[in-house]
Structure formats: structure tokens, C-alpha cells
Structure 1
């Protein structure tokens, strides 16, 4: 075996090709690089733009797997970019969460939509220093999960079991949230103000609300084509069924049977008046009597929740809306059966009538009807005239759309866009959420009346089933256009209301 020492030391591959280096040895020769001219400012900008475009094409601005921050839900709302109050809030997070749940429950009870409640919760928790919060809202419950790092999580749930009309209280809650987001109100002061809002009396007494029910029915019967006699009957009938509904509510009767009983009484009254020759248009008496029984506001709110990304809440509200319509139709059907047993003829409640007054009278009627709805919803008196103005403008747009021939489906949607846009601007200017102005003003579009007429034909008139089914599809399109128009108007008004939100915050800081 050959001795390994006899062989030369192995060198790495290619070592013999390398030039020798080391002390005293010459460095390898290199050729001189050509000199380059310095880039101009325009070339630098072009290169930067090209690199930015290439980065967008390859990666995108937002990685697709990155979760959206919950605070991003505030974009476009009056509470965008809240002022964070730092200083030991996490140590008493449970007290903050209890306050936020109480706030959300109050908003739901006063008629706020799911999007309004969610943005208020996110804004308040962010302003009070809670970072790791998740919110879940369904038809009648609010859940909050607070899971900070390396700490036990807190999960709370609040169920809303009762509702009341109090748009004035909802506007005050909106102002409270605005002040918290602006950093001018701490948690303890916010708790005190919320309790004060809850315990404060409503702006209008009960007798005025009852009278407003009758006034709305009377003037809107005039808008629908009824004369003074029909308006007087509608006024008396609505006051009567309002008192009946209140008494049945005290007896804990379910809402379905309360609505059915009221529609039965109205229909029987119309049949008796027609039989004795006291009215020549019993159909409009029935329509005037059930106007405030129609769940128009709930119907529009359910579609709005679906559009805003709350399908569970929308499904729950839509189901309760369909039950209300079913109760109205059931009450009318039972009244017809009783009337036939007593020899009365059946009337056509889907009949329409030509206008009975001039246009300027109808405009006054619409303004009075919107203000009456505001009183029944317990809107603050400062908002009554602005809401009436928005309703009148929406009604004029509706009439203008009809004269232009854009169709019965598109005209309400166009009017709803105008109502939604003006409602956001006026409401934020007066320190209230958009729905406080939009819902009363949109009731003059009467999408609920269209749904009722179609459902009545579908269930009562057995020979007109296909007509009723087609009417239901048409009514559904009108309702979707109305609700979507209000949401679209709210979205279009956001660029015009950014300064209003900042003004509210500056006023809150000065306090």
C-alpha cells in the first residue's frame, strides 16, 4: 500500500485556476468599468413608479390571508378614527364591557339597526382602550368576546327582550358615543349619562302619541284619494285600535293576535259603515285603519341589515314582518266571514282611488303625516320639521319619477336615495343617527301597503293566485329598491359629512 505522504496534497477543484494571492504577490488585473451618467429626476420617478406597480401586481396592497382589523369597520361611520383613552382601562375591562353591553341593549330597544349598534360598540371599546374585542349581533342579542394576550378571556351576552319607540333617546345615545370617541368623556361619566338617558321621560305624552296615530291615518287617507268623511273615519278608527292594542298588550296577548284583532275591528267597522250608507269607499277606510299596523319600518330595516352584512338579524326581522302581514290578512279574512254571515258583501281592499286634492294640499298632508310619524316614534321636537322637509322632497321625487315614466319600481328607489342622502346630512348636523330622519320620511313611500295588497290577493282572492304571486314579486322589488336606496343615499352622503363628524368631536373636546 502506498504511503499517503508520497501523494501531493489534494486541492479543491478549480484551485489551480485561481490567481495566487497573498503578501508580496500581485493582485489580479481587472478591467475598468464604464462610467454611467447620473439619472435625472424624471427617470428616478419613473423607476419608482415602475417598482411600485410591479409590487402591486406581484403581492397586492393587502395580503389575502391577513385578517381585517375590527376598527376598520368604523370606516365611513361617524365614529371613524376614535381617540384612544390610555390609562389603566384593561385592569377593569369587565366594567367597561358591562357598560358597552348596556349601551348596545339600549340602542336596540330604541330602534337602532344592527350596523349602528356594531359600529357604536367597536368605537366605544376602542376609545376606552380595549384592543382585543370581537362583536357578534343577532336579531335580539349582542355578544362581546374580550381575549387579551396571556390573560383569561371574557365572553358576555345580552339578550334584548323588549322594544320601545324612543328616537329622541337614540339620538342622545348617538351623541354620547360621539363624545366618548372624541375623548371628552370617560367611562364613569359615560355610565352616568347613559343612566340619565334611560330614566329620562319621552318627549311627547301618551295622549299626544295616540292622537298622532289618528292624524297620520286621516291625512294619508287624503293622500291616497279619500275625502273628508273617509279621513274622519280613519282618524276615529286608528285612535280606537290604538287604545285596543294598548289594552291587549297589558293583558300580555301576543303581538300576532293583537294585530289580527285590530285589523278585524277596522274591517268590521268599514263593512258596517258601508252597509248603513255612511261611506261610499269602505276599501279606503280599511287601508287607512291598517296603515300604522303595517310593519313598513321593520320591513325596510330587515332589508337594510341584509345589505349591511347581517343576514341572521335580517332573517329574524323579516320573519316577524311576514307574521305581522299574515296577522293583518287573517283579521281581514275573519271579518269578511263574519260579514257574509250577517249578509254584508265583500269589499275589494286593493282598490285604488284618484287624487281628491290639489298638489299643494297633498304636500301639506305629507308634511303633517311625517311629523305625526315622528311623534309616534318619539323623535325630539327639534327634528320634526327637518324630517318633514326630507319627506316632502322624497314625495316630490316620487311624483317626478312617475311623471317621467321611469316606472313604479324605480321611482320609489330614486326617492329613497334622495331621502337617505338628505337624512344623513341633516341627522349628523343635528347630532342624531341617520335612521331617526330616514325611517319616518321613507314611510310615505308605503312599501308595506304594496306587500299587503299582494298578500291579500294571494291568500283571499282564490281566483287571482297568479296575479297575487306576480304582485308579491313586484312588491318585493319595490321594498328592496326602497331599502337599498336608503343605504345607497347614506353611502353617497359620506364624503359630505366628514366635516360634520369632526365638528362634533371639536365641540366635545371643548367641553
Structure 2
């Protein structure tokens, strides 16, 4: 029939299926290329041109623990590589040469001989796909019901570290180390001042599990901090350390009492203020007066704390008795430097620990946490300013006579000042509730800091900011070396040692000038105090980084010597 003939003609003119899918048809007069066999490229739409040999790509070695391995495929053989552009071998079988470095992908070696802080910090700065898989198979072979327990113990450990004043990067490293030790490979911890969270994703096709915890109270206890560091070291280094054992150890750490009683803390605050008054040129009578004023301020702050007042008002209350003691001595016309008494009381109140932690978080890229810490420091300093200014204003109205230069014109007594610096660091160790084994090292570190500062500033005539930065840098360097040697936190060796460098004199002179309505000298003095405080924080962080820069980095290439440690968060703004 005619319809049949028309159908046959349409069928003859119907193009070949390969022509239908081809976007490139040869011009008229050129023969069509011969089509490959149907089974040569069963799934590829992009065949190689005729006459070009297929390029064979060697498959990469099987990467155990890769972020892009499908669940259940860790032990399977790699599929043979096909021609470039072929999808038959899958995405994980081979990569093109354009995505592979010329010398191959270096292996990451994280040996257990290095401190866990360096190992975990190195892994945190790696992309997820390059992180090594957990080594302890027996730990992550448990059932999935153990995942919430691992996340919970991880958050509890991070809470104690963050509440104790540890930097955000070290808290994240500890949390990642605990989770990684218990087999949670694809996990990401996050620290933002008062909030801790951790997310674990079993594989690319599974839903992530997220847990969080809020830090509502902050308690300075470096003994507890050191115990938590030892716990993290045991978890990351021992193969048979179970979650039940970790919970038991953590409960013991929380139950342990502070190593020093309340009366010892009060005496330490008095010794700190007295040592600071000697440091700025006062005599032994000034030492006693400053110690009495600081102890009264400490007891008043404890009373305010017991009544539930915020920390801001506690600092206001603690700043008033030392200032009142100096004003009373000035009104009595006693042969005592009231300025040195007030300056000594300020040394015990300046929040140097929070300032160093805030600047360190900012330098390592944790800007939200750094901004919150620095805002906290600003509030506490404002509380100190209000307490001291209110007392100074009343004293000036009553006729007290303060000589701003009196505390700076003391005789040069290097031996007494060195002893005062070490005593100040020792008192700081007690206030920070440090372990007795760390007190001697921190005290010596504080003496070295003041010796370097005095040699550079008083003898060589180097500006105070540069001298403070150099002295704080040595404190950070020695603290980091001691922490690596003892596998502990660097805070017990650093925080107390920077006590002699705190800008107590500049802060007092600025406040006194403001009370006397002398803005021309008050604002520069407070600016100088802020510059010295930032110099301390930057110097401590620089010393820490110098220790990590020159010591062997975990994961470094033994052949080239090039370190594989990533920069903190970003590099040159990218």
C-alpha cells in the first residue's frame, strides 16, 4: 500500500541513532567516520576520535578513610581505569593528570611521639578529604548507639577547657582528638566563646548528627585544666581507653577540690599587690599597705560573688579598697607612696589572661570568639576604672595630694625588683590554682621576663612596647617548650609569668589624670597601657608560633623537609 511505501521511504531517510545524538556532523562530501562497536563504549557519549590511541591513567593507590569513598567500599579493589572521559569506571577509580601534583600526593604521617595538640591542630587545618583515617579499628567498630556518648564526652571535655581559659584552636583540637580517637572520622568541632558544637557525618549519604553544649560558668583552675589535658593525651594515645573510663576520669576531675583554700587565695592576692608595689618603686611599708588593700578588695569581691552579682560589679568592688588605702595614706600625710599602693592593687585586677586568650584567638582566625573575649576584657577594665575613679575623685575632693611621678622615681634596685617579679608570678600561680609541679617553672619564667624587659628598657634604652613584646615572646616560647615536654597546656607556664609585664602603672596614671580632669596626659597614658597589653598578647602568641615553627612539625616531608602544616584559617586574605 502507499502508506507502506511512504513508511519505507521515511525509514530509509531516518538518521542513524548516533547521528541523532551527535552535535558534530561532517560537511557534505566527506565520508562519515566508522562507528565503534556497540559494546566498546557502552555508556560514553564522547568517544575518542579515530586514529588516536586511548590514554591509560594509572589508578591512585587506595586511600583508606577517604572522604569520597562510598560506604562499604573501603576494602574493595579499585576498578580498572578506562579512557579519559569514560564514566564506566566511576569517579573514584582514577583522576586525570591535571588534578595530581607533579610529584604525587604526599603522605601524611602523624606519629604518636609528637604532642596530641600538634597532631590534632595539623589535622584540623587539613581539608576533610586529606585527613588520615582513625587507626584504632576496634574503637569505631562499635554500634552506632555509641556515637551520642562519644559526642557527649567530647563536648564535656571541651567545656572544661573553654571555661578554664584555653584558646579556641586548642579547644577544637582537643575535641577533634577525642572524637577521632573513638573512630568518628568525619567530624567538625566548632567553638564560639560560650557555645560548643560538634557535627559527625557517618558518610556522604547519611544524615549528620550534631550535638552542642553551652558554657555558662567560667572557673579559673589550671590544676583541672592540666588533668583534662592528660585525659585527652591518654584517649588519643592508648588503644584500649574506653568511653566508660573517660567518663570515670572526667567525673573524678570535676569532683576534685581546688588545690589551694580560700584563705590562701586571699593571701596570694595581697602578696601579688605588695610585690607589684615594690616593682614600681615602693618600700616595704608600701608593700604592707598594698597587700592589706588588695586582701580587703578580694574579700569584698567574694562577698559580691556570693550575693550573685555579675562579674562587672565584682571588679568594681575589688578595685575600691586598694584605691581607698592609697587615698587614706595620702590624707594622713604618711611618708608612703600612695601611688605605688594603688598601682599594686591594679596589678591583681587587670585581666591579662582573658586579654592574651582574646588576641590569640584573633591571630589564629577565630574572630567571633576573639571579639567576644576582648569585649569581656573591655567590660572588666571599665569596672576597674569606675571603682578606682570614684575613690580617687572623692580623695581629691577631700584634699588628697597625689604625685604622679612618685612611683616612677624610685631608686634602681634590680635585685629587689627581680625578687618582686618572681614573687608576683608565684602569687599569680596560687590565684590560678596551678599544680605545684608547675609553680617553680612559671616563677622562673616570670623572673626571666622581667630580667629581659629591664635589660632592654632600663639599660639599653629600648622603648617599653618593644621591650615588652620581646619579653612576652620569650615567655610564650619557654611556655610552649615546657608544654610540649610535659604534654600539657601552655597556660600554666605563661599566664602567671606575664604578670610582671602588665601595664599597672600606665593604667593608674591615666586614671589619675582623668580624675584630675587632665585629658591631655590621661588619654595618652591609657593608650600606652592598651599598647603594652596588646604587646604582651602578641608577644606570647609570637613565642608560641616560633616554637612550632622551628620544632619538627608532625606530617613534615622527610625528603624535602617542607612542613605540611596549614596556615591558620586563611592565607593572605584568601
TM bracket, shorter-chain basis: 0.7 to 0.9
Match of 2:427 in 1: 372
Judging changes above 3 Å, is the alpha-carbon distance between structure 1 residues 471 and 415 closer, same or farther for their aligned structure 2 residues? same
In 1, the alpha carbon distance for the partners of 2:243 and 2:405 equals: 54
Q: Is the 8 A contact 1:222 1:357 kept in 2?
A: no
In 2, the alpha carbon distance for the partners of 1:290 and 1:162 equals: 24
Question: Which range is displaced more, 264-273 or 364-373?
Answer: 264-273
Match of 1:435 in 2: 491
Match of 2:150 in 1: 96
Match of 1:26 in 2: none
**Aligned with 2:165 (options 81, 90, 111):** 111
**Aligned with 1:139 (options 173, 189, 193):** 193
TM-score by length of 2: 0.70
How far does residue 449 in structure 1 lie from its aligned partner after superposition? 5.1
Match of 1:491 in 2: 545
How far does residue 263 in structure 1 lie from its aligned partner after superposition? 1.9
How far does residue 384 in structure 1 lie from its aligned partner after superposition? 0.7
Q: Is the 8 A contact 1:412 1:482 kept in 2?
A: yes
Q: Is 1:229 aligned to 2:285, yes or no?
A: yes
Q: Is the 8 A contact 1:284 1:349 kept in 2?
A: no
In 1, the alpha carbon distance for the partners of 2:414 and 2:392 equals: 35
Match of 1:85 in 2: 136
Q: Identify the structure with the greater helix proportion.
A: 1
Match of 1:27 in 2: none
How far does residue 205 in structure 1 lie from its aligned partner after superposition? 1.8
Judging changes above 3 Å, is the alpha-carbon distance between structure 1 residues 372 and 453 closer, same or farther for their aligned structure 2 residues? same
Judging changes above 3 Å, is the alpha-carbon distance between structure 1 residues 396 and 107 closer, same or farther for their aligned structure 2 residues? same
Q: Is the 8 A contact 2:468 2:535 kept in 1?
A: yes
In 2, the alpha carbon distance for the partners of 1:309 and 1:90 equals: 36
Judging changes above 3 Å, is the alpha-carbon distance between structure 1 residues 354 and 203 closer, same or farther for their aligned structure 2 residues? same
How far does residue 94 in structure 1 lie from its aligned partner after superposition? 0.7
RMSD, aligned α-carbons: 3.0
Q: Is the 8 A contact 2:503 2:529 kept in 1?
A: yes
**Aligned with 1:311 (options 351, 367, 376):** 367
| Secondary structure, aligned partner of 1:142 | strand
Judging changes above 3 Å, is the alpha-carbon distance between structure 1 residues 90 and 113 closer, same or farther for their aligned structure 2 residues? farther
Match of 1:187 in 2: 243
**Aligned with 1:198 (options 254, 265, 284):** 254
Match of 1:392 in 2: 447
Gaps spanning 5+ residues in structure 1: where?
1-10, 16-57, 63-68, 502-511
How far does residue 454 in structure 1 lie from its aligned partner after superposition? 3.9
Match of 2:407 in 1: 352
How far does residue 260 in structure 1 lie from its aligned partner after superposition? 1.4
Larger relative contact order (CA 8 Å, sep ≥ 6): 1
Judging changes above 3 Å, is the alpha-carbon distance between structure 1 residues 300 and 453 closer, same or farther for their aligned structure 2 residues? farther
**Aligned with 2:437 (options 378, 382, 393):** 382
| Secondary structure, aligned partner of 1:441 | coil
Judging changes above 3 Å, is the alpha-carbon distance between structure 1 residues 500 and 224 closer, same or farther for their aligned structure 2 residues? farther
How far does residue 78 in structure 1 lie from its aligned partner after superposition? 5.6
Q: Is the 8 A contact 2:189 2:197 kept in 1?
A: yes
In 2, the alpha carbon distance for the partners of 1:448 and 1:61 equals: 54
Q: Is the 8 A contact 1:85 1:129 kept in 2?
A: yes
Question: Which range is displaced more, 295-304 or 345-354?
Answer: 345-354
> Deviation digits for residues 110-130 of structure 1, max 9, x if unmatched?
221212111111111111111
